[in-house]
Amino acid sequence: MGTAEPQVAAETSQLTDGFQLVIDALKLNGLDTVYALPGIPITDLTRRAQAEGLRVLSFRHEQNAGYAASIAGFLTQKPGICLTVSAPGFLNGLNALAHATTNCFPMILISGSSEREIVDLQQGDYEELDQLAIAKPLAKAAYRVLHAEDIGIGVARAIRAAVSGRPGGVYLDLPAKLFAQSIDAEAARKTLIKVVDPAPKQIPASDAVRRALDLLKAAKRPLIILGKGAAYAQADADIRTLVEKTGIPYLPMSMAKGLLPDTHEQCASAARSFVLPGADVVMLIGARLNWLLSHGKGKTWGGKGHKDWGGQKFIQVDISPQEADSNVRIDAPVVGDIGSCVSAFLNEMKTGWAKPPAEWLSAIQEKKKGNIAKMAETLAKDPSPMNFHSALNVVRDIVKANPDAILVNEGANALDFTRSIVDMYKPRKRIDVGTWGIMGIGMGYCVAAAVATKQQVIAIEGDSAFGFSGMEVETICRYDLPVCIVVMNNNGVYKGTDVNPRGGDVAPTVFVKGARYDKIAEAFGGVGMHATTPAQLRKAMEEAIRSRKPTLINAVIDETAGTESGRITSLNPTAGKKK
């Protein structure tokens, strides 16, 4: 610098850097929470984000941070942000990214990465990995930003990709060098984008709406199936009006429970095995005909053989035009966002609607009555040791008394029994293993549910399921979150009774017997409780909810209770062979 003048100009012009621009871009778009695990090259990003007022939740393992981000996306319709270091941290987070894509949850995995020139020549950089290439097949979209002035575009693209159309997981690769790049602050500010209308409405075509309603009107035994897409859409009042106005019985998929209260008279959950094969026209709203619905065919649907069509006609309401005909013929696809589709149905139905034939409705009521009475009898028993039913009878009462609490649920028997026994009363209050039936979502979901909704969280966890994310109890205690974890402790995967015929090591499904999971909470200053009876469990849960303190209840369950794989024993090839 030869003269004094340019020096002065350089001093007065303000500089910013890559770290700051990432934070500014997130903030500008209302993304105020980050689920993270610090380390090179993102340590300062977590610090500075916190200093700038973002909520930075620091985890013990990236997988749990990722699951937290994914479910935050489901609960809020804003992409959940997970932030990790390069290679191993990225790979730990990748599981959750794939999970988000599979479940149609909006999420952005932001990972720091190593130096491009070295990675591409495979010269062995610190934590070298071609992350972008690896993320691509598992993400809805994947982007890399190389220059600070492109951070605004990169974040904007990631947001749009995550929440528009069918939501999913997006990967954003930010190389270490990017963070330190300096750039004129005023020029940089102009590169940031506040995304306008990130998830535009998609209005269904009127002929598609009419086609669907004509089919539904002509049905003798109609059924509506609500999936987690319907829960995600936040069109709760219109969905309820549609169900009530048509008078059609409905089945909620697991995470759609509570969209209407499970105790609603049109809820057909307690007659599931009657309504699926019995229905002649089925309207799917935000639910796919995947394995969870036996692919829309086979014996579940009244088909003669394993893969035979049961004869139903299907209406499918979905934002993805590719979803229709994925498993069976869809006679009336309605493509659009659920809010717009349901309101189009309601508009078109203004002329009046006749309830379904009384025979169908009364047959369902009959079945429901029988099954509910049978269940009530089982729930009333008080066996010793406590079993899933007597423990879940307590959880059922607690959830009824606290309908705003969010229920997190994973395990095999611990999952299936909870889903069928514990009624939900409000939308988006039940979050669980989702489309893949994965173990490990538990504690990450607890953190995100508590942080994103500020509500009490109740987690019902199989002892195996809990183990996948158990260390995050420290995270829950650190942030003093109102989470009550109940570990259904039956000494193992499915049950604790397997024996190794050769002696020596215990069987692969068996854990340390009589383990005291409650001590884990105590280790971090939380409340640990040990419950061997329903009365003790009730008292412990009531106290946890009253105090809103992080609590872990070790609920001792009869190790002989339950079945292998819970309700999906038939999917297990070994179990199949035994028959």
- Number of amino acids touching ligand ADP (CB under 6 A): 24
For residue 30, what are the contacts with CB-CB under 8 A and spacing of at least 6?
78
Distance CA(114)–CA(176), nearest Å, equals 6
For residue 90, what are the contacts with CB-CB under 8 A and spacing of at least 6?
62, 84, 109, 111, 113, 129, 131, 134, 135
Does residue 438 touch ligand TPW according to CB under 6 A?
yes
Distance CA(497)–CA(16), nearest Å, equals 61
Would you call the peptide bond into 385 cis, given omega within 30 degrees of 0 as the criterion? yes
Rank residues 26 and 235 by Cβ distance to ligand ADP and give the closer one. 235
Where on the chain is the footprint of Mg ion (CB under 5 A)? 462-464, 490
Does residue 440 touch ligand TPW according to CB under 6 A?
yes
Is 532:556 a contact under the CB 8 Å cutoff?
A: yes
Min dist. Cβ of residue 260 to ligand TPW (A): 28
103 binds, among Mg ion, ligand TPW, ligand ADP, none (CB under 5 to 8 A by kind): ligand ADP
Does residue 462 touch ligand TPW according to CB under 6 A?
yes
Does residue 338 touch ligand ADP according to CB under 6 A?
yes
Centre a 10 Å sphere on the Cβ of residue 466 and count the other Cβ atoms it contains: 28
Q: How many CA atoms lie within 13 A of 260 on its CB side?
A: 23
Min dist. Cβ of residue 438 to ligand TPW (A): 4
Which structure tokens are listed for 389? 């039913």
- Among positions 57-116, residues that touch ligand ADP (CB under 6 A) are 103-104
Buried b vs exposed e over 228-257: b needs ≥16 C-beta within 10 Å?
Answer: bbbbbbebbebbbbbbeebebbbbbbbbbb
Does residue 319 touch ligand ADP according to CB under 6 A?
yes
Binds ligand ADP (CB under 6 A): choice among 125, 128, 262, 337: 337
Binds ligand ADP (CB under 6 A): choice among 228, 297, 313, 368: 228
Distance CA(544)–CA(271), nearest Å, equals 34
Q: DSSP code of 322? A: T
Distance CA(76)–CA(106), nearest Å, equals 9
Centre a 10 Å sphere on the Cβ of residue 266 and count the other Cβ atoms it contains: 17
Min dist. Cβ of residue 370 to ligand TPW (A): 26
Only one of the segments 11-19, 63-71, 305-313, 315-323 lies at the binding site for ligand ADP (rule: CB under 6 A); that segment is: 315-323
Min dist. Cβ of residue 493 to ligand TPW (A): 4
Min dist. Cβ of residue 472 to ligand TPW (A): 15
104 binds, among Mg ion, ligand TPW, ligand ADP, none (CB under 5 to 8 A by kind): ligand ADP
Does residue 440 touch ligand ADP according to CB under 6 A?
no
Min dist. Cβ of residue 386 to ligand TPW (A): 13
Does residue 292 touch ligand ADP according to CB under 6 A?
yes
286 binds, among ligand TPW, Mg ion, ligand ADP, none (CB under 5 to 8 A by kind): ligand ADP
Does residue 290 touch ligand ADP according to CB under 6 A?
yes
Does residue 442 touch ligand TPW according to CB under 6 A?
no
Only one of the segments 102-110, 125-133, 172-180, 463-471 lies at the binding site for ligand TPW (rule: CB under 6 A); that segment is: 463-471
Q: DSSP code of 289? A: -
Min dist. Cβ of residue 94 to ligand TPW (A): 13
Does residue 227 touch ligand ADP according to CB under 6 A?
yes
Does residue 233 touch ligand ADP according to CB under 6 A?
yes
CA-CA-CA-CA torsion sign (257, 260, 262, 267): negative
Q: How many CA atoms lie within 13 A of 252 on its CB side?
A: 29
Is 167:233 a contact under the CB 8 Å cutoff?
A: no
279 binds, among ligand TPW, ligand ADP, Mg ion, none (CB under 5 to 8 A by kind): none
- Among positions 487-526, residues that touch ligand TPW (CB under 6 A) are 488, 490, 493-495
Min dist. Cβ of residue 270 to ligand TPW (A): 22
Does residue 464 touch ligand TPW according to CB under 6 A?
yes
| Residue whose beta carbon is closest to ligand TPW | 462
Min dist. Cβ of residue 293 to ligand ADP (A): 7
Q: Is 579 exposed, middle or buried (0-12, 13-18, 19+ CB in 10 A)?
A: exposed
- What SS3 class is residue 491? coil
Distance CA(102)–CA(361), nearest Å, equals 35
Per-residue x/- mask for ligand TPW, residues 201 to 220, rule CB under 6 A? Answer: --------------------
Binds ligand ADP (CB under 6 A): choice among 286, 427, 442, 496: 286
Which structure tokens are listed for 296? 């829309």
Min dist. Cβ of residue 228 to ligand ADP (A): 4
CA-CA-CA-CA torsion sign (282, 301, 434, 490): positive
Does residue 390 touch ligand TPW according to CB under 6 A?
no
Alpha-helical segments (H) within 184-322: 185-191, 206-217, 228-232, 236-246, 272-278
CA-CA-CA-CA torsion sign (375, 381, 383, 386): positive
Does residue 413 touch ligand TPW according to CB under 6 A?
yes
Min dist. Cβ of residue 330 to ligand ADP (A): 12
Q: What is the dihedral of CA 370, 376, 379, 381, to 10 degrees?
A: -100
Does residue 482 touch ligand ADP according to CB under 6 A?
no
Only one of the segments 152-160, 249-257, 359-367, 559-567 lies at the binding site for ligand ADP (rule: CB under 6 A); that segment is: 249-257
- Number of amino acids touching ligand TPW (CB under 6 A): 19
Q: What is the dihedral of CA 308, 314, 317, 323, to 10 degrees?
A: 30
Only one of the segments 142-150, 213-221, 485-493, 519-527 lies at the binding site for ligand TPW (rule: CB under 6 A); that segment is: 485-493
Q: Which of 482, 518, 300, 493 is nearest to 415 (CA)?
A: 493
Min dist. Cβ of residue 490 to Mg ion (A): 4
Is 349:252 a contact under the CB 8 Å cutoff?
A: no
Residues that bind ligand TPW (CB under 6 A): 411-414, 437-440, 462-465, 488, 490, 493-495, 562, 566
List of residues contacting ligand ADP (CB under 6 A): 103-104, 166-167, 227-229, 232-233, 253, 255-256, 286-288, 290, 292, 318-320, 323, 337-338, 435
